[in-house]
Structure 1
């Protein structure tokens, strides 16, 4: 009887470990920024900042 519980527990731990590794791999892939869309967002943000800075300097 003890052997059955030991076998079931080992199988449960193995399955949980495999699931956690899979989730970590998926989380790592989704956390990587895409290079194609990242530059366009930065450029838009930089343009807005420079326009705002120009308007502040014009007010002085």
Structure 2
């Protein structure tokens, strides 16, 4: 599966809007699917059907 990188750009109630860093496309996603640390401005990585905060993802890859 492809690894995707996103930025959380806004929260609308129970949904977050993510911006794909490669394409600029916006993606609404349920907050329940995101890690607890997710907040506006946070970079997220989607890999293996899971979202992870980018700095934590980099640490786990070392």
The interval holding the TM-score normalised by the smaller chain is under 0.3
Per the normalisation by structure 1, the TM-score is 0.23
Which protein has greater RCO, CA pairs closer than 8 Å, 6+ apart? 2
Per the normalisation by structure 2, the TM-score is 0.22
